Structure 1
């Protein structure tokens, strides 16, 4: 089965051999006089154009036609700020290969801070079903390998490119866009002072039921915001972190005491020895009994944070019943 990049080469290889004999009159890539200004032929399916700006600073504005999506692919690195009204869509460096998409009927303003070169692809809206179309509104992807490869293929063929070749490349790009997963919004890490409060609370109460809502209240945030920011700060979901804290505390007891496993399980917040053993082995790679035996010879250090990230469970709640 082809991946996206293999599929792109398969689509474009055959027409490319034939296109070298085509006259310049068939060259299908228009050069824009103004940013995103291109005449769409009534019978055209996918329209492709080039935009180049040699000035160090420039500003432009355009509105996507009501029946098309606009796709821009950066051919060289530049810095750009995309805005709509007072909303900032993107502000930063756009490496070569950056792909961004604007939905139909949407105005967009750009400020370039440096020379730039883009390949613009104008795709009819009926190429995208509703679920895929919703994910393409103001989508910005840095370094999209397939988009960069397709744009490079078109530019390198230059005047040898014909309409059929360009159409194949455009259709491959359209299929690629329908399969993209929108990037997750960037989440700020939980501030250190909030994190310290949560860690202290877990350290004081790990041996009993602690819910996500309880930890969120300690941090002074909603459940959703707390969970996302905690994971951004620690790399763990709150539930994973609590389980690991329990296991690390259990390791200390296994290494320094002769208490039975059932007692240790209850002491660190598990309701049964069986579940304690299951979680312990998943996180540590050994059963509690084997770990205790090995610790008598090696005495491994028991850090608060585990050396490897554990597999997460599905439930958010961790309590005595867990």
Structure 2
């Protein structure tokens, strides 16, 4: 719908369960939105001269970190009188209900999201900026953090912006030892692939919500943190072999290009893989 207007699609990603992400830019446009899916929008930059049509006239209130929640079937009209950069997360009604049933082990006939316009929520801002906007959406190694963040966002919407507003269930204890052992073996065997939260939770026969919390309880870090750490440990071990190219190492560790591998390696270790290879730290500096 947006592409029929002046909106420019900057980035796009498809995640599990029909969830999609889209990074847009628009300016000087009037748009009427009516979709068969839910849309959570966060303003990334500008948006100060964005207006929303209400029964009482046009209302302004946009700006960075403001969010809008547009439930499926809700029509809204917007007048963008200046620049606006924003990110949309799209989710189907079917997936929202499936997620609710998996988390709370019950269903609700009144599962309806609330429309929100120009609202503020520190948790939504944190999940967007710290997770969704901090990685390259097209890289296989980013899929786990993207799927984890989208699950957290949808759970937050269910808890705070729906008719049910159920409390988050308590998760006591971690994964059973045999389940954890098999799961860690699965991760190690698939570090070269774009792992997702759905894949890992299926290995443990748990919902994504419960799996993420039980994994953290057992391992001491989130799934995406653990997987990235294991990828980096594999990369450092492979860098010791001068016969291996950076491309081969990148692909073996789940990165689709040497440049993406180099960027993530530098972020975590303060130097490029090439510099690490030529001047590796002492063996005691590495964690096993």
User: TM over 0.5: same fold?
Assistant: no
Structure (1 or 2) with the larger CA radius of gyration: 1
State the TM-score, normalized to the length of structure 2: 0.42
Which structure carries more relative contact order (alpha carbon 8 Å, separation 6+)?
1
